[in-house]
Amino acid sequence: MADPIVIWGAGAIGGTLGAHLVRAGHEVLLVDTVAEHVEACRTKGLTISGPVTEFTQIIPAVTPAKLTGRYSRIVLAVKAQATKAALPILAPHLAPDGFVFSAQNGLNEIEIAEAVGAERTMGCFVNFGEDWHAPGEILFGNRGAFVVGEIDGAIRDRTVVAQWFGNVRAGTRATFTSDRGPVTVEVLWPQGQWADEQISDPNNSSIAIVLRTPDFSLFAGGDMEPLTQAQIAPLVGRVDIYKVCHHGSKFQDESFTRALSPTISIISVGAGNTYGHPAPETIQSLTRLGSRVLRTDLDGAIAIRANRHRFRIRTSKGSFALLRWS
């Protein structure tokens, strides 16, 4: 896609997204009703500050009255109560094959779908902390979940940012820039018949990735089971953090677990689930490797701060420090 990502509403959420997207190399155009904010963003730059990161990024910006043209990707980031007023102004600038992506607090996708069509509407769950302080100034309080999806649950060949697209399969690779250095994401699975959907096996068709940064490495493999775990065991290598497959079920390949030999293992699992997850034998296998096992059912929310492979772990049900030098 050659046209820029239009972010309609450059306040707390929209401004934070826009600044980080531009910093990562994407072309962005901010649209906002506050003329002073628009002028600051396009001349002096938008300053993101707070405990997470601090930087200033110049971003092209206009008021709605000065916007021209039609765009394939419009991120709507105005306050929920301003959605109804924004849509009639936004709609003429949406390309025939374009879509509106709601990055807002509240459930606004229904109203957007009524205005532009359900097939042209995407939504997300925003859980990072941010606050608009003044023209050209936004506080970025914490990192958090940012989950994107179609409102009807369909899988479509489109994304807001064009690095990830189509059917992700083994061999897909992307590198992003960050204030800590390069971030590389490599897809190890699915491949072959699983990637081509010739086999109806949702668990073993899970996307498995290795993420590497100067501060940590991480493996996540969805609900992969021993059949496919064994196939990628020779490819994974040791990682700092392992998001344990299939909620820590008893179905794990021992050679795969040994190949990862994670320092920290995270098991995402609901308390009191009827499946018996996580399995005691899975936890024992990880602890025998010297891995620190964390479970959301017992530890609650889990946050890990990494600095050159030294870690501090905090949980909502307590906190502790874990240090390791690579």
For the chain, domains (ranges, CATH) are 5-150 (3.40.50.720), 173-322 (3.60.15.10)
pLDDT at 323: 43
Hey, what amino acid is at 273? N
Contact yes or no for 13/127 (Cβ under 8 A): no
The model's confidence at residue 163, banded by pLDDT at 50, 70 and 90, is very low
Which residues are within 8 A (CB) of 273 and not within 5 positions of it... i.e. 6 or more apart?
247, 297
pTM, 2 dp:
0.53
Q: Which of the residue ranges 108-117, 144-153, 172-181 would you say has the lowest mean pLDDT?
A: 144-153
Query: Is it the case that residue 166 has pLDDT exceeding 50?
Result: no
Q: Which residues of 87-201 form beta strands (DSSP E)?
A: 94-102, 121-126, 129-134, 137-142, 146-150, 173-178, 181-189
- The residue among 16, 9, 6 whose CA lies nearest residue 131 is 16
Backbone angles phi, psi at 142, to 5 degrees: -165, 155
Q: Which of the residue ranges 52-56, 58-62, 148-152, 293-297 would you say has the lowest mean pLDDT?
A: 148-152
pLDDT at 301: 84
Contact yes or no for 205/197 (Cβ under 8 A): yes
pLDDT at 165: 37
Mean pLDDT of 257-273: 93
Query: Is it the case that residue 104 has pLDDT exceeding 80?
Result: yes
The model's confidence at residue 242, banded by pLDDT at 50, 70 and 90, is very high
pLDDT at 326: 37
Query: Is it the case that residue 270 has pLDDT exceeding 70?
Result: yes
